[in-house]
Amino acid sequence: MSGGVDSSVAASLLKDQGHDVEAIFMRNWDTRDEHGECPSERDYRDVQSVCSQLEIKCHQISLVKEYWNAVFAVALDGYARGLTPNPDVLCNSEIKFGVLLNHINQKINQGKGERGWWFATGHYACAMRGRFSGGSVQLYRGADRRKDQSYYLSAVPAASLDRVVFPLGNLSKSRDVRRIAREKDLTTASKDESMGICFVGERRKFDAFLAEYIPQKQGDVLSSDGLKLGTHRGIFTKTIGQSAGISGWHDKWYIYAKDLDRNRMYAVQDRNHPLLHKKTVRVGPVHWISGAAPLGIEQIGGISLEAQVRYMQEPQKCTLSADQR
């Protein structure tokens, strides 16, 4: 449980179904070591309050060290190389459905038997075991497409999802979850959603936070024909497609490329400029949830799928084929 309304309702639904429910809260960031405020202590109090209402046990575990090594340090390295990693994707694959899941298996549920427990979260996603997958678990989008979080779970392997249930997978956040929370009079029924990354907080500027860990090196922002438009405060401060923040122009400029060796960014005007769009892209490393690539990927012409490179992006039809180079 995170201290939000989603995990609170998930726990409540499972309790109503007659399951023996225990809550676990993971603390991933040590606020005593940073300038930014992370509401983990407040969130844990909310977890304790809901657990008291539901009359279920509540556990807390500190995974600060594991989070730093497997998520934060990896993300920092990506940002320093001009990339835009997603810490939430890493957190799910490495921490919540990795270290935490192993901890539950080894410590909390000792003596209950191999088939004695399931791991539930408040994610808006579905884990199903289908006849076409040989009985292995498959990850599906949540019914509430505006809240669907399968994107954040895309790096979790099937083995980690095998004992997972998502009680909110077929529910709507606005129509169902909030209503259930109000009917149950849960402490978190009206709690606002947390929109920030825990180690940054919701009120801080992300690039200012990263500057505390990555040396800032100013560089030029150039147009596609080499005209100097302005300067940037570090190659990590902007991502592809983001506004370049260039003042003095009637139309906005948008970053379309980065040159790490020369510490330069390149920008164009107009969101629909051809340089901001690609018809082909080479991706990797590739993680297949099932552990194996889908049939047909090696064939000429590849296979037809849908691609999504950012959370909340509308899925785009694509053709996926193996790199023959």
| Known catalytic membership, residue 91 | yes
- Of the candidates 38, 58, 91, 126, the residue annotated as catalytic is 91
- Of the candidates 51, 58, 126, 198, the residue annotated as catalytic is 198
* Per-residue H/E/C for the chain: CCCCHHHHHHHHHHHHCCCCCEEEEEECCCHHHCCCCCCHHHHHHHHHHHHHHHCCEEEEEECHHHHHHHHHHHHHHHHHCCCCCCHHHHHHHHHHHHHHHHHHHHHHCCCCCCCCCCEECCCCEEEEECHHHCCCEEEEECCCCCCCCHHHHCCCCHHHHCCEECCCCCCCHHHHHHHHHHHCCCCCCCCCCCCCCCCCCCCCCHHHHHCCCCCCCCEEEEECCCCEEEEECCCCCCCCCCECCCCCCCCCEEEEEEECCCCEEEEEECCCCHHHCCCCCCCCCCCCCCCCCCCCCCCCCCEEEEECCCCCCCCEEEEECCCCC
| Known catalytic membership, residue 198 | yes
Catalytic machinery residues:
91, 198
